[in-house]
Chains A and B, each alone.
Chain A
Amino acid sequence: MSHLLEVKNLDVKFDTDEGRITAVENISLSVDQGEVLGIVGESGSGKSVTAKSIMQLNPGNTSYNEDAEIILDNENVLKFTSKQDLKKIRGGKVSMIFQEPMASFAPAIKIGAQMVEQLLIHKNINKDEAKSISINMLKRVGIADAEKRFNQYAFELSGGMRQRAMIAMALSTMPKLLLADEPTTALDVTIQAQVINLIKDIIKEYQMGVIFITHDLGVIAQVADHVAVMYLGSVVEKGPVNEILKNPKHPYTKGLLEALPDINNLDEPLKPIPGNIPSPLDRPTGCVFRTRCPHHNPEGKDGKIEMKLIEVESGHWVDQCGMMCGQHE
């Protein structure tokens, strides 16, 4: 069976005043219908850039490699140039939700008007139908007084309600793929739990594919089926969520798990990953993690090793250098 989405060998580079930077290097990912792929990693690891590539939302200074492919429903979206095609990946087959709902709503247009406008662009329906779909969707995401909210501006809603309204707008066009970029990061844990449950229910109901981006491994454990761990533009490990969280192989994945304060294990001291994330302008050659890796050997081979994922268990992929951990000479 072919995947709903397949990203193959994607590089994303940006031309900046300080030079050309590599934000994403040679990543491959796939998402099936009804499945949640979590992407986890520290800030600057390339999570948002990856999501934006799928909708071609990266700005003008971006370049993709010639042999990269992003196949959605059997079409390579990186080759899309016509308005008609771009519509498909910007609100048609693909929708996106963000950390900050105000990024989705124009401040001076009422919530309902924006939802209707979006539906009219993407669906072959009239205004009344669009209105009723919108109100039903607002109800579906748990907004009380949906008719009243329909006629309000986003800023008039509380934080949690705004988050729900954004989800309603993203879902109203029935996309096949939902890109969720840190949608719970700014929320309190209590509201986060509500939003996670809502998103899970909706995925089940509509059987869409989801990419859920977060830096929180707990959130990943709760929502994702598969997970990809990113560091400085590279996927260093990926596989079924259970396998990755319980049997991590890469030193970075292990480090992330150890640094996490676990409320059920208060005796465990907090272990930081030493050092800082390098600037993308000084992206290390060879293994990208070597400047912070506890197994790094300055005389060893890791500066020359090419990064490449290999399958260690069925579906569990680890960067090959990760397999040599502690075995540097």
Chain B
Amino acid sequence: MSENLISVNNVSVNFDYQENFISKKQKIHAVNNINIQIKKGSFFGLVGESGSGKTTLGRAILGANKISSGNVIFHDDDRNYDLTNMNKQDLKEYRKKAQLIFQDPYAALSPRMTVRDIIAEPLEVMKITNSRQETDEKVRDIAAKCRLNIEHLRRFPHAFSGGQRQRISIARALVSNPKFIVADESVAALDVSIQADILNLLKQLQSELNLTYLFISHDLSVVAHVCDVVAVMYLGHIVEMGPSRELFKNPKHSYTKALLSSIPSIDPEKRSEAIELKGEIPSALNPPSGCAFRTRCPNPGVDCKGGDIKMGLTEVEPGHWVDDCCVI
């Protein structure tokens, strides 16, 4: 049996783009040749600025985005699913096992649905339960696990605070008893006092229900606290990846270093040691040749500017991978 739950092999995702109907067709390179292995039971973090391809990769792994090349394998107990080669029946099965936590169920769903209906919907859509009674049992069970008050099930979500809505969202994702969860910016909109509560809940549910997470966030401090492995993405590439403590203590890639240094320190005496990056992330329509980061790199080597460097990861410590070009 594989120790990995998910294997992402050389995955690229491109989108077609045409500014208007007379202009020429172009490609958006959202995700480029990604390789990651997500171990069973891990809390795998994906960080990077907006536009780096995190959501696209997460959706590709859920089978919600087409994969342009490469493949994604989901290693279940008794069989493997190859996402690039699945029939309808397989896709149905996979949907039960791999779920997304919505950032805000209220924004995504009808305001006329009660909390109970929101949580129950996946069971009904995927025809997992056979009677209303069975559905209600499952809903109550998962709601309790997510520390939602049973009384709340009859209410409408607009009456709830951000933290409670996030619990509803988590309950909805977990009700079909999945093994793999993608949490995309799940705590981004929450106040810190409540964010900590939701993160602790995710951790607790992980051990209780044997879950594996792909946790997507632009907040490095949060990722450092909850994830055991972290991949840093930039413009569709993973530029560094490793056990989270090792990566945050000993970052190797210039981009990781810059990101870490940009977190505003809570110590007023430690003002701005930020390695200031120039400009913004380039468009995925026209990514730089060679090293994707070279247009903003604070200390490029002589070879980097030319653009003929090829990107790829090298293992510098056990499990700690860094983009080649930055290692040499």
Complex: how many Å from CA A256 to CA B194? 10
Please encode chain B, from 260 to 292, with 1 for each CB lying within 8 Å of some chain A CB and 0 for all others: 101111111101101011011000000000000
Complex: how many Å from CA A160 to CA B265? 21
Residues on B with C-beta less than 8 A from A259 are: 192-193, 195-196
Q: Within the complex, what minimum Cβ distance (angstroms) separates B300 from chain A? A: 17
- The verdict on A61 contacting chain B, using a C-beta distance below 8 Å, is no
Q: Is the CB of B225 within 8 A of A276?
A: no
* Listed A/B pairs (22) with beta-carbon separation below 8 Å: A42-B193, A189-B218, A189-B220, A189-B264, A196-B264, A221-B266, A222-B264, A224-B268, A242-B268, A242-B269, A245-B266, A245-B268, A246-B268, A259-B195, A259-B196, A261-B199, A263-B224, A263-B248, A269-B200, A270-B195, A270-B196, A272-B193
> 16 additional contacts, CB 8 Å, given A190-B277, A191-B280, A222-B272?
A42-B193, A188-B218, A189-B220, A189-B263, A215-B191, A218-B263, A221-B264, A221-B266, A261-B225, A263-B221, A263-B248, A266-B225, A270-B200, A270-B225, A276-B194, A277-B191
Q: Is the CB of B280 within 8 A of A266?
A: no
- The verdict on A271 contacting chain B, using a C-beta distance below 8 Å, is yes
Q: Is the CB of A190 within 8 A of B267?
A: no
Complex: how many Å from CA A257 to CA B79? 47
Q: Is the CB of B272 within 8 A of A196?
A: yes
Complex: how many Å from CA A276 to CA B162? 9
Q: Is the CB of B271 within 8 A of A188?
A: no
Q: Is the CB of A270 within 8 A of B199?
A: yes
- The verdict on B205 contacting chain A, using a C-beta distance below 8 Å, is no
- The verdict on A129 contacting chain B, using a C-beta distance below 8 Å, is no
Complex: how many Å from CA A271 to CA B197? 7
Q: Within the complex, what minimum Cβ distance (angstroms) separates B158 from chain A? A: 12
Leading 10 A-B pairs by shortest Cβ distance: A218-B264, A272-B197, A273-B193, A270-B196, A272-B196, A42-B191, A189-B262, A188-B49, A193-B274, A261-B221
Q: Is the CB of B193 within 8 A of A255?
A: yes
- The verdict on B222 contacting chain A, using a C-beta distance below 8 Å, is yes
Complex: how many Å from CA A246 to CA B265? 13
Complex: how many Å from CA A91 to CA B219? 34
Residues on A with C-beta less than 8 A from B262 are: 189-190, 192-193
Interface contacts (Cβ under 8 Å), in number, total: 124
Complex: how many Å from CA A12 to CA B185? 34
Q: Is the CB of B225 within 8 A of A194?
A: no
- The verdict on A219 contacting chain B, using a C-beta distance below 8 Å, is yes
Which residue in chain A gives the minimum CB-CB distance to B193? A273
Residues of B at the A interface (CB closer than 8 Å) are 49-50, 161-164, 191-197, 199-200, 218-222, 224-225, 245, 248, 258-260, 262-269, 271-272, 274, 276-277, 279-280
Q: Is the CB of A215 within 8 A of B280?
A: no
Please encode chain A, from 287 to 319, with 1 for each CB lying within 8 Å of some chain B CB and 0 for all others: 000000000000000000000000000000000
- The verdict on A159 contacting chain B, using a C-beta distance below 8 Å, is yes
Complex: how many Å from CA A255 to CA B193? 7
Residues of A at the B interface (CB closer than 8 Å) are 42-43, 158-161, 188-194, 196-197, 215-219, 221-222, 224, 241-242, 245-246, 255-257, 259-263, 266, 269-274, 276-277
Which residue in chain A gives the minimum CB-CB distance to B220? A263
Complex: how many Å from CA A276 to CA B165? 12
Identify which of A43, A260, A266, A277 contacts B224 (C-beta below 8 A).
Answer: A266
Identify which of A197, A222, A255 contacts B276 (C-beta below 8 A).
Answer: A197
Residues on B with C-beta less than 8 A from A197 are: 272, 274, 276
Residues on A with C-beta less than 8 A from B193 are: 42, 255-256, 259, 272-273
Complex: how many Å from CA A291 to CA B280? 43
Q: Within the complex, what minimum Cβ distance (angstroms) separates B206 from chain A? A: 14
Q: Within the complex, what minimum Cβ distance (angstroms) separates B228 from chain A? A: 11
Residues on B with C-beta less than 8 A from A42 are: 191-193
Q: Is the CB of A263 within 8 A of B260?
A: yes
Residues on A with C-beta less than 8 A from B192 are: 42, 215, 217, 256, 259-260
Residues on A with C-beta less than 8 A from B268 are: 221-222, 224, 241-242, 245-246
Q: Within the complex, what minimum Cβ distance (angstroms) separates A146 from chain B? A: 16
Residues on B with C-beta less than 8 A from A261 are: 196, 199, 219, 221-222, 224-225
Q: Within the complex, what minimum Cβ distance (angstroms) separates B168 from chain A? A: 13
Q: Is the CB of A271 within 8 A of B196?
A: yes
Residues on A with C-beta less than 8 A from B269 are: 242
Q: Is the CB of B194 within 8 A of A272?
A: yes
Residues on B with C-beta less than 8 A from A160 are: 279-280
Q: Is the CB of A222 within 8 A of B200?
A: no
Which residue in chain B gives the minimum CB-CB distance to A277? B161
Q: Within the complex, what minimum Cβ distance (angstroms) separates A190 from chain B? A: 5
Tell me which of A255, A256, A257, A262 has the highest count of chain B C-beta atoms within 10 A of its own C-beta.
A262
Complex: how many Å from CA A241 to CA B267? 10
Identify which of A43, A189, A196, A266 contacts B191 (C-beta below 8 A).
Answer: A43
Which residue in chain B gives the minimum CB-CB distance to A257? B266
Complex: how many Å from CA A189 to CA B49? 8
Which residue in chain A gives the minimum CB-CB distance to B159? A279
Residues on A with C-beta less than 8 A from B274 are: 193, 197
Residues on A with C-beta less than 8 A from B197 are: 272, 274
Which residue in chain B gives the minimum CB-CB distance to A217? B266
Q: Within the complex, what minimum Cβ distance (angstroms) separates B68 from chain A? A: 26
Which residue in chain B gives the minimum CB-CB distance to A227? B268
Complex: how many Å from CA A222 to CA B259? 16
Complex: how many Å from CA A294 to CA B148? 21
Q: Is the CB of B266 within 8 A of A190?
A: no
Q: Is the CB of A190 within 8 A of B194?
A: no
Q: Within the complex, what minimum Cβ distance (angstroms) separates B252 from chain A? A: 17
Complex: how many Å from CA A219 to CA B274? 13
**Given A160-B280, A190-B277, A270-B200, A219:B264 Cβ within 8 A:** yes
**Given A196-B272, A222-B271, A190:B259 Cβ within 8 A:** yes
Q: Is the CB of A266 within 8 A of B199?
A: no
Complex: how many Å from CA A273 to CA B245? 26
Q: Is the CB of B258 within 8 A of A272?
A: no
Which residue in chain A gives the minimum CB-CB distance to B264? A218
